[in-house]
């Protein structure tokens, strides 16, 4: 059940298929076993030997547990947050215990802990990791609020609204149909900016929003703005955080087109490569100006939201390629609707 207060949400389970989540769990478990060996043996060398001796049981149990959590992810997301946590906790204790029993004969001569110790250790780590991911979700949730505020206050700047309305008014008599389409684009843009940005949205919706924005800018900039789309290989059903591409394109207009008197070209190349979606945006580079700091704030905001949704699996890179400024986003290709800050089961 969702809470209306951003800072009091019930929470959401991490996506155990994400590389970042798996790496954090693997490193935490290895560190915990090493610390346990240090505490019981009294030295770093002995602790390392303890870790090596336990790896025959530790690694298979850990990998099987992560695989099971990944496979059951879709089911876990259909449960309430508390039920999902309880199920994850039970799986995290049961699987290592079953692996312990299955390898009892194979590792009969190897020094290892008892079944009770394995179960208790697994349960303790599971509880600590679930607590960590819960606190991380709580700590990062203000990024969603910031994204909405930034979209309302910075993305739609007053001069953009003023210029768009003036452009529409200039068309009312000469081209009423185009004026009507422009008002529809403006309405769609504001509707998207006012909507809930916590849920991932289909890529095709973000592209439609970006087109609506560019249609409005073309009214103002005319032939100065040229847009080239490379979206033949775009996976329309891929899910991405809302308000990611449109703000970057707005930055491209604001920083790359407006400072120049001559025409400039913005290109968008969106495609899927294996299990990753790539979004590449290029625009002319006008050098560092008064708005360069604003560009860094927007980049940091989008990067933080990508991290919130996809952890280490998503990246945002910006670089200067001669006279062209490029932003390259990579994120996992997923079609299952997920939410980073709210539980399922309204």
Predicted pLDDT of residue 46: 73
Across residues 108-113, what is the average pLDDT? Answer: 58
Fold for 142-332, please state it.
Answer: Heat Shock Protein 90 (3.30.565)
Domain ranges of the chain: 6-140, 142-332
Is the separation of the CB atoms in 199 and 309 below 8 Å? no
State how far the Cα of 97 lies from the Cα of 99, in Å rounded to an integer. 5
Q: How far apart are CA 269 and CA 248, in angstroms?
A: 13
Q: Pairing mode, if any, of strands 324-332 and 315-321? A: antiparallel
Model confidence pLDDT, tens digit, residues 243-293: 889 889 988 988 888 888 888 999 999 999 988 999 999 999 876 554 444
pLDDT, mean of residues 76-96: 89
The pTM score is 0.65
**Segment 288-297, tens digit of pLDDT:** 554 444 556 6
User: Virtual CA dihedral for 38, 41, 44, 47, nearest 10 degrees?
Assistant: -70
Digit-coded pLDDT (tens) for 47-80: 777 777 777 678 888 889 999 998 888 888 788 8
Give the orientation angle of helix 158-171 with respect to helix 203-221, to 10 degrees: 70
- Quick one: what percent of the chain has pLDDT higher than 70? 76
């Amino acid at each position: 059940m969702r809470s209306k207060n951003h800072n009091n949400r019930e929470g959401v389970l991490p996506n155990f298929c994400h590389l970042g989540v798996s790496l954090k769990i693997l490193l935490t478990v290895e560190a915990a076993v090493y610390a346990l060996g240090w505490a019981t043996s009294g030295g770093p060398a002995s602790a390392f030997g303890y870790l090596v001796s336990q790896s025959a049981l530790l690694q298979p149990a850990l990998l099987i547990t992560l695989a099971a959590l990944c496979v059951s992810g879709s089911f876990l997301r259909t449960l309430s947050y508390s039920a999902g946590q309880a199920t994850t906790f039970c799986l995290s204790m049961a699987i290592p215990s079953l692996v312990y029993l299955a390898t009892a004969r194979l590792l009969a001569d190897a020094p290892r802990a008892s079944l009770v110790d394995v179960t208790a250790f697994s349960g303790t780590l599971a509880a600590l990791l679930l607590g960590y991911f819960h606190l991380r979700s709580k700590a990062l949730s203000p990024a969603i609020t910031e994204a909405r505020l930034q979209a309302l206050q910075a993305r739609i700047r007053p001069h953009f609204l003023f210029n768009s309305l003036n452009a529409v008014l200039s068309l009312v008599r000469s081209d009423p149909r185009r004026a009507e389409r422009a008002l529809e684009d403006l309405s769609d843009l504001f509707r998207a900016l006012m909507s809930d940005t916590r849920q991932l949205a289909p890529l095709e919706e973000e592209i439609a929003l970006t087109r609506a924005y560019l249609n409005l800018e073309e009214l103002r900039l005319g032939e100065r703005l040229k847009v080239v789309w490379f979206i033949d290989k775009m996976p329309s059903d891929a899910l991405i955080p809302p308000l990611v591409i449109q703000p970057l394109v707005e930055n491209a207009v604001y920083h790359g087109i407006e400072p120049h008197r001559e025409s400039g070209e913005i290109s968008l190349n969106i495609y899927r490569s294996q299990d990753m979606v790539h979004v590449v945006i290029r625009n002319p580079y006008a050098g560092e100006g008064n708005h360069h700091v604003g560009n860094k704030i927007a980049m940091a905001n989008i990067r933080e939201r990508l991290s919130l949704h996809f952890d280490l699996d998503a990246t945002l890179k910006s670089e200067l390629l001669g006279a062209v400024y490029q932003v390259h986003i990579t994120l996992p290709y997923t079609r299952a609707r997920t939410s980073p800050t709210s539980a399922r089961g309204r």
